Amino acid sequence: SAVISQKPSRDICQRGTSLTIQCQVDSQVTMMFWYRQQPGQSLTLIATANQGSEATYESGFVIDKFPISRPNLTFSTLTVSNMSPEDSSIYLCSVDKSGGLTDTQYFGPGTRLTVL
Amino acid sequence: AQKITQTQPGMFVQEKEAVTLDCTYDTSDPSYGLFWYKQPSSGEMIFLIYQGSYDQQNATEGRYSLNFQKARKSANLVISASQLGDSAMYFCAMREGNTNAGKSTFGDGTTLTVKP
């Protein structure tokens, strides 16, 4: 497995502001993903964070709203920009350590965001 | 069509009894992995068990076992000897090896409540 940490663990923010979430893994991993889980809902993939290149975004998510960085194989950030109450969610970082496309994904502890 | 279907929004089980959480999936990819995750109220996604599409035997991990019926495209989670700490949301997920670029698809989840 992989040890994954996220910062912050939770935050309460005002609308119109931005928050950057950090994800740190204890070893180099091939694939890193960012998910959003709105209250009472399942997980929705925001984007795949690619090392050294632009992230690959899913339908409905755009770089201007959710810029992502991945400067190396152990670290990534997700920024939630110009926040509104609809952005209140748990944001989860996930990694695939092996690079095998059917292998287990492991998740960080999540960042619980509330936007007022 | 949904790729992962969990038909039980909520389940109740008596402490020390076994419970089965249902999951059916839809894919034409011969190579895929199936996963179960537990999400307690803290929000963390905890990996429980994995089944590969080419695995001949059903996966087991302690009190968790996966009843894999490939022809029926079902991957039910069986929890034996339920404990109060098993009360949580449970998600079934799939990764396809040749399609979808290794991204996971999640079901809507089942909320399990263990009664003393």
- Segment among A49-53, B41-45, B110-114 with least mean pLDDT: A49-53
pLDDT tens across A12-21, in order?
999 999 999 9
Cβ contacts of A31 within 8 Å, gap of 6 or more: A48, A95, A96, A99, B102
- With CA atoms as reference, the chain A residue closest to B44 would be A109
Task: Assess contact for A48 and A30: CB atoms under 8 A.
Answer: no
B77 contacts: CB under 8 Å, gap ≥ 6: B20, B21, B23, B36, B48, B49, B64, B65, B66, B67, B90, B92
- Inter-chain contact B43–A112, Cβ cutoff 8 Å? yes
Contact by Cβ (8 Å): B65, B80: yes
Q: Does the pLDDT at position B80 exceed 80?
A: yes
Q: Looking at beta carbons, which residues of chain A come within 8 Å of B93?
A: 105
A110: which chain B residues are within 8 Å (Cβ-Cβ)? Answer: 43-45
- Cβ distance of A105 and B106 shorter than 8 Å: no
Amino acid at B33: G
Report pLDDT for B71.
95
Contact B22, B76 (CB under 8 A): yes
Q: How far apart are CA B41 and CA B23, in angstroms?
A: 21
For residue A68, the one-letter residue type is I
Question: Does the pLDDT of residue B99 top 80, yes or no?
Answer: no
Give which of B27, B103, B106 to mutate to test A binding, by max A Cβ within 10 Å.
Answer: B103
Q: Do A105 and B95 make contact, defined as CB atoms within 8 angstroms? A: yes
Residue B11 predicted with pLDDT over 90: yes
Tens of pLDDT, residue by residue over B54-79, are 999 999 999 999 999 999 999 999 99
Residue A51: pLDDT band by 50, 70, 90 thresholds?
Answer: confident
Q: Residue B1 above 70 pLDDT?
A: no
Which structure tokens are listed for B39?
A: 């999400």
Distance from CA of A40 to the nearest CA of B (A): 9
* A105: nearest CB among B52, B97, B104: B104
For chain B, the average pLDDT equals: 94
Contact B109, A42 (CB under 8 A): yes
